[in-house]
Structure formats: structure tokens, C-alpha cells
């Protein structure tokens, strides 16, 4: 198993980072929050989880070891594959997920695209004894709800857009984010990129 990759960031896309390791470009699937901390040309170290399928090998990357462990634990629940596990971590931090499971918070789980009410109830039952107790201090709200503007701006700048362009794109998707209640950073990033492509 590949436990981590360490090298220079060669390229960034809305859901992928390419890390150059010994002359080889490793494509790593990442959440928007992880991508927002990366810069092209700068060194990076990502904790990784390799998902093997009959027709593919996919490397998922995380800012820290805790996030990687939670990603793998989430997949022990029936019906949760790597994409859904990553979507859960795109919306909630590992501790926010632990708190949601510990308190039986269905609403927090249904905020994740692809999880309905019944799915959330099933996940709460299955994950209760698997994720453990929250590690950090309770947060007022999830990062996706609290700082979506900062996360989105950082992700756009990381993808190579100028700060002014990023400001305009964030302003353009603000009505969509506010209407959503709990903004999904991945969806907002796609919408922001569409507005930037139209402007060019």
C-alpha cells in the first residue's frame, strides 16, 4: 500500500492533484479543502489510500493521517465507497463526522450529496462504534458552512487564477451557496470554474 506521497505539486484540478515523485506524476484524488492548501511548484506531502478495482487503481490524498483513517473507516459501512467517503469528508471534518455520529445527527449526514434520510439512519447505526470520540474541541459549525468563501477562494487561487478573478467567481456563486444552507464546496468550485470559463 502507498501510505503517503511527497514531492512537488505539478498540477491541480477541481478534484485532483498531480504530485511529481521521482520523475513520475502521481494523480491523487483530494477534497477541495486539501487542494486549497496546495500550490503548483511547491512541495507537498499527502497521506494516501489506494483503492484497487478490477479496472482501476485510484489514489486518494489527505492533508493528515486522521482524515485518511476516517476515510477508510467510513468505507467499512455498507453502501459507502471511496467517492461517498470522500464526499463526506468534503462537507465535514473528521471530528464533525464523529460528533454527528455520536449525537445521532441525521441532518449533518443528509447534507452530504448522495445520502438520504434512510441512508443517514443506517450510517449512524453502522458507524456508531467505529469512528471513536471527537479528538478536537467542538466547532461552532463545519468548515464548509462557516468558511466556504475562504475555502473556495483559496482553491481557485491554488488552481492558478488571480485573486481578483477568484473574488469575482466567489461573488458569482454566493447566491447559490446561501440558498443551499450548507454549501457543498465541490459543487461551488465547479460552478465557480464555469463562470470563470465563460468570462475568458
Tell me the domains of the chain and their CATH numbers.
Answer: 4-62 (2.40.50.140), 65-127 (1.10.150.20), 147-199 (1.10.8)
Cell numbers standing for residue 198: 465563460
14, 186 in Cβ contact below 8 A? yes
What is the Cα–Cα distance from 175 to 15, expressed in whole angstroms? 23
Cell numbers standing for residue 106: 441525521
What is the Cα–Cα distance from 127 to 79, expressed in whole angstroms? 12
Model pTM score: 0.67
Per-residue pLDDT of the chain (200 residues; tens, 9 = 90+): 788 999 999 999 988 999 999 999 999 999 888 998 899 999 999 999 999 988 889 999 999 999 999 999 999 998 899 999 999 998 888 988 999 898 888 988 998 888 899 999 999 989 888 887 776 644 444 444 447 777 777 778 777 788 888 888 888 888 877 776 666 777 788 888 888 777 65
Burial of 38 (0-12, 13-18, 19+ CB in 10 A): buried
Amino acid at each position: 500500500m502507498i501510505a503517503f506521497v511527497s514531492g512537488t505539486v505539478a498540477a491541480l484540478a477541481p478534484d485532483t492533484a498531480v504530485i511529481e515523485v521521482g520523475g513520475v506524476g502521481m494523480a491523487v484524488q483530494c477534497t477541495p479543502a486539501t487542494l486549497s492548501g496546495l500550490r503548483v511548484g511547491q512541495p507537498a506531502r499527502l497521506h494516501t489510500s489506494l483503492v484497487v478495482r478490477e479496472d482501476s487503481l485510484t489514489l486518494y490524498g489527505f492533508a493528515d493521517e486522521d482524515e485518511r483513517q476516517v476515510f477508510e473507516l467510513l468505507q467499512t459501512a455498507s453502501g459507502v465507497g471511496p467517492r461517498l467517503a470522500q464526499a463526506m469528508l468534503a462537507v465535514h471534518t473528521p471530528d464533525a463526522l464523529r460528533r454527528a455520529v455520536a449525537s445521532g445527527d441525521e441532518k449533518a449526514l443528509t447534507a452530504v450529496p448522495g445520502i438520504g434520510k434512510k441512508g443517514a439512519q443506517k450510517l449512524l447505526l453502522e458507524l456508531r462504534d467505529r469512528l471513536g470520540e471527537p479528538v478536537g474541541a467542538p466547532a461552532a459549525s463545519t468548515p464548509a458552512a462557516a468558511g466556504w468563501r475562504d475555502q473556495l477562494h483559496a482553491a481557485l487561487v491554488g488552481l492558478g487564477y488571480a485573486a481578483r478573478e477568484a473574488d469575482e467567481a466567489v461573488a458569482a456563486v454566493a447566491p447559490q451557496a446561501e440558498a443551499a444552507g450548507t454549501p457543498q464546496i465541490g459543487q461551488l468550485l465547479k460552478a465557480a470554474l464555469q463562470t470563470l470559463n465563460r468570462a475568458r
